[in-house]
Structure 1
Amino acid sequence: MQFTHFDTDAFLRDYWQKKPLLIKNPWEAWSDPLEPDDLAGLSCEDGVESRLITHTDMDGGWNVENGPLPEDRFDQLGDENWTLLVQAVDHYVPEVSALIEPFRFIPNWRIDDVMVSFAAKGGGVGPHFDQYDVFLIQGTGQRRWQIGGACDSDSALLPHDDLRLLANFEASEEWICEPGDILYVPPGVAHEGTAVSEQCMTYSIGFRAPARSELIGYWADDLIADMKDDDRYTDPSLQAQNNPGEIRPEAIDALHKMILGKLADRDAFARWFGEYSSTPKYPDIDWRAQQSSGIDQLRAHLASGHPLHRNPASRFSFIRQSDKSIILFVDGESFPCTGHTAIFAEILCGRGQISLDPVLIESNDVMALITRLYIQGSLIFDLQD
């Protein structure tokens, strides 16, 4: 799916992380990439993250059930006030994964996943705010979106173990989204969506925004893992001081330098962040190819015109080191690339489907990288193409 009318530059300038925007059906031809029954089926599978949220108007109570859900649970729900949420549906349904492509003007490492919701009339998840940007694509049915003010960690929340619902929500704007419409909501903006039709599908493309505490914590953990126990503070020029209780400025300076010297290594941080940010959302899922293939077999597939596809569950990005050298990051691993391999790596990060030039197919280094990524499940062939 592609847009027919959407000004990317104007959006980034005027709205991205600034204010909400309702985008009226910008698609060439909108159609739902998923049926409600298929979404319900996913929520019943082991390993798929899902939630069922029900709301009772009589007492204002919210209830959350985590998947996998029993198949007969949906027969018990009735026709109103419930919502099914399934995370990372793009990992399992290529047609849902394709919804991300028009938003590739945002860097790969910022994209999280596509959550899909189905709501009966009156269904929703309550007034809340997110810590990340989100594009809310309306599918089947209609949903009323109400937009409130800016929120932060000090905003009052209702007491609930599983939901972060705002205690005080006042709407300043309201829209009814029709099929194909897109609502963009920046981080920290209060919003609430309620299904106004009997069936309502919404596709939420979410983006990652690492917290400072998260970056410092995980980066420090990675550094500590490689540190040696004998890397310690020394003071060979120590002089006697009047009061032994004082921690002298020169000691603080030396200790501070010990820490900053490691934290300030930009190249080491860049490599770590590339690996960290490309780690799959669900790293315990095994996507490896069921049948092993060697370089010659994969080269034959490519030469026959079969395109490579990125696994929708995999993450790809790169860091440029020079005009001829980059580091490719795929699923938490790094691959130094030069020459033809660097050319291939840039193509790989920029496209979801890749058909290679014969020069790249003949490169043993390129094919070795393709074979490695294919075996680990990051690249796949659709031999029916």
Structure 2
Amino acid sequence: MPTLPSLGELSLDTFLSDYWQKKPVVLRGVFPDWQCPLTPDELAGLAMEEEVESRLVLERDQGKPWQLKAGPFSDEDFDQLPENGWSLLVQAVDHWVPEATALLDQFRFIPNWRLDDLMVSYAPDGASVGPHFDFYDVFLVQGLGKRHWQLGPKCNAQSARVKDTPLNILADFKADAEYILEPGDVLYVPPQFAHWGVAQGDCMTYSVGFRAPSHAEILDDYVAELCSRLPEHLRYQDPATAPTQTPGLLGNDALSALQALLTEQINQPQQLAQWFGKYMTEPKYLPDQGTETAPDQEALSQAAAELQEHDGPLFQAPDARFAYFESQLFANGERYECDAETAALLANTRCISGWQAQVTQPGVAALLSQLVARDLLWFEDPTAPEGEDE
């Protein structure tokens, strides 16, 4: 499915120049023929699966406000819920529901390595997850029923929070604007803007979130990557040291030498691109993450045989994250070398046509076999409803 050509009456260029990471905006009728990808019962069914991340937000539980329970849940858990005052949230629904994957794909006018996942929430009439703010951008697609949204000012880490809750609930929320969203409408909220959505009737909202690692997370991971590559014999040196009368002083010469050392290690664009490609494509919601082993020769041979017989397009798996830089392809935290044209072809679209012409390039057949064997490329369309042919 192609990306959105516009956001309702707002062009993508206008949205990106006037609103993206600047101010919230309500986008009416973005999906005029909206059909909800799943029902509340189907969402509850996902929340009962061990491999699916899910949460229940309770507006009050055992006398405490805004409490959180983690899934997986059981029929008994749902039967014990009060009539109102709770919300169910399920992460990465795009991994499990083809129509949800197709919905997420429509927002790839933002680089797809920035896209995180599609979270779906259900709330009975009058329920919400409270006034809060996030540190990332989010498109809130109204899916079922209506939701009354109140938008507040920009917040920060010092904004007062409600105590005795694990949630990021604002203690002093003041609305600057109010809107009611209907199915097919979208609310865009930039990072740190306060918002509070209350269900009107049975309500489902589809939240398209974006990855926004903190500066601390970026530096922590990148410095760890740098350190893993540095040999032990590289040490701090000061061959031009002169006699000193102030042995306790940290001199400017030493600090300049240290800054030059750090700059030399960080100012390596190719190394930065290699790290960043792996970092931003690393999966977050896969079971047994980090335990994957390389496919064995039998799996690679089977994948190669299937590729030889397949004459249609290839498809990125729903949980696959692809990016590229020059002749480097990144997929789910791994880096693969290939020609630049192949890297762009595999990373830029979910439906990959014309891949057969690239197989003659050195190493491409082996690369495709790797990606198929790792279940990152599929022969069937993962966004097609069950039972449909590609």
Alignment TM-score, normalising by the size of structure 1: 0.90
Is this contact kept in 1: 2:328–2:335, CA < 8 A? yes
**Aligned pairs, number:** 373
Counterpart in the other structure of 1:155: 159
User: CA-to-partner distance for each residue in 1:279-323, whole Å, 9 max, x for gaps?
Assistant: 11135347899993232321211x2x2x32111211111113xxx
User: CA-to-partner distance for each residue in 1:87-134, whole Å, 9 max, x for gaps?
Assistant: 111111121011122211100111000000011111111000010110
Take 2:218 and 2:126, find their aligned partners in 1: how far apart are those partners? 39
Take 1:237 and 1:15, find their aligned partners in 2: how far apart are those partners? 54
Take 2:261 and 2:19, find their aligned partners in 1: how far apart are those partners? 42
Counterpart in the other structure of 1:368: 366
Residues 363, 255 of structure 1: CA spacing in aligned structure 2 closer, same or farther, 3 A cutoff?
closer
Counterpart in the other structure of 2:385: none
Residues 40, 300 of structure 1: CA spacing in aligned structure 2 closer, same or farther, 3 A cutoff?
same
Out of 38, 42, 53, the residue aligned to residue 49 of structure 1 is 53
Out of 118, 141, 144, the residue aligned to residue 122 of structure 2 is 118
What is the correspondence of 1:251-270 to structure 2 with a 5 Å cutoff? 251-270=254-273
1:308 is aligned to 2:314: yes
Alpha-carbon offset, residue 159 of structure 1:
1.2
Please identify, of 119-128 and 48-57, the stretch whose mean Cα deviation from structure 2 is larger.
48-57
Counterpart in the other structure of 1:176: 180
Take 1:185 and 1:294, find their aligned partners in 2: how far apart are those partners? 43
Alignment TM-score, normalising by the size of structure 2: 0.89
Percent of pairs with identical residues:
42
Is this contact kept in 2: 1:79–1:121, CA < 8 A? no
Residues 360, 230 of structure 1: CA spacing in aligned structure 2 closer, same or farther, 3 A cutoff?
closer
Counterpart in the other structure of 1:83: 87
Alpha-carbon offset, residue 161 of structure 1:
4.1
Out of 324, 327, 330, the residue aligned to residue 318 of structure 1 is 324
- CA RMSD in angstroms comes to 2.3
Counterpart in the other structure of 1:337: 338
Alpha-carbon offset, residue 230 of structure 1:
1.9
1:201 is aligned to 2:210: no
Out of 223, 239, 242, the residue aligned to residue 239 of structure 1 is 242
Please identify, of 47-56 and 352-361, the stretch whose mean Cα deviation from structure 2 is larger.
352-361
Counterpart in the other structure of 2:276: 273
Alpha-carbon offset, residue 236 of structure 1:
2.6
Alpha-carbon offset, residue 248 of structure 1:
2.7
Out of 347, 351, 354, the residue aligned to residue 353 of structure 1 is 351
Take 2:40 and 2:80, find their aligned partners in 1: how far apart are those partners? 16
Take 2:243 and 2:360, find their aligned partners in 1: how far apart are those partners? 70
Take 2:359 and 2:31, find their aligned partners in 1: how far apart are those partners? 35
Is this contact kept in 2: 1:51–1:84, CA < 8 A? yes
Residues 57, 279 of structure 1: CA spacing in aligned structure 2 closer, same or farther, 3 A cutoff?
closer
1:37 is aligned to 2:41: yes
User: CA-to-partner distance for each residue in 1:325-376, whole Å, 9 max, x for gaps?
Assistant: x2111111112222xxx32321222211122254235556322211111111
SS of the equivalent of 1:142 reads strand
- Paired residue type of 1:298: L
Take 1:317 and 1:126, find their aligned partners in 2: how far apart are those partners? 35
Counterpart in the other structure of 2:386: none
SS of the equivalent of 1:343 reads helix
Residues 57, 278 of structure 1: CA spacing in aligned structure 2 closer, same or farther, 3 A cutoff?
closer
- In structure 2, list runs of 5 or more residues that go unmatched: 382-388
Residues 364, 250 of structure 1: CA spacing in aligned structure 2 closer, same or farther, 3 A cutoff?
closer
Out of 6, 13, 29, the residue aligned to residue 9 of structure 1 is 13
User: CA-to-partner distance for each residue in 1:155-201, whole Å, 9 max, x for gaps?
Assistant: 1111134201001101111111111111101111000011111x111
User: CA-to-partner distance for each residue in 1:250-294, whole Å, 9 max, x for gaps?
Assistant: 222222222221122222111111111111113534789999323
SS of the equivalent of 1:252 reads helix
Take 2:233 and 2:358, find their aligned partners in 1: how far apart are those partners? 47
Out of 143, 163, 171, the residue aligned to residue 139 of structure 1 is 143
Alpha-carbon offset, residue 21 of structure 1:
1.0
User: CA-to-partner distance for each residue in 1:34-77, whole Å, 9 max, x for gaps?
Assistant: 11111111111112111011224996722211101122211222
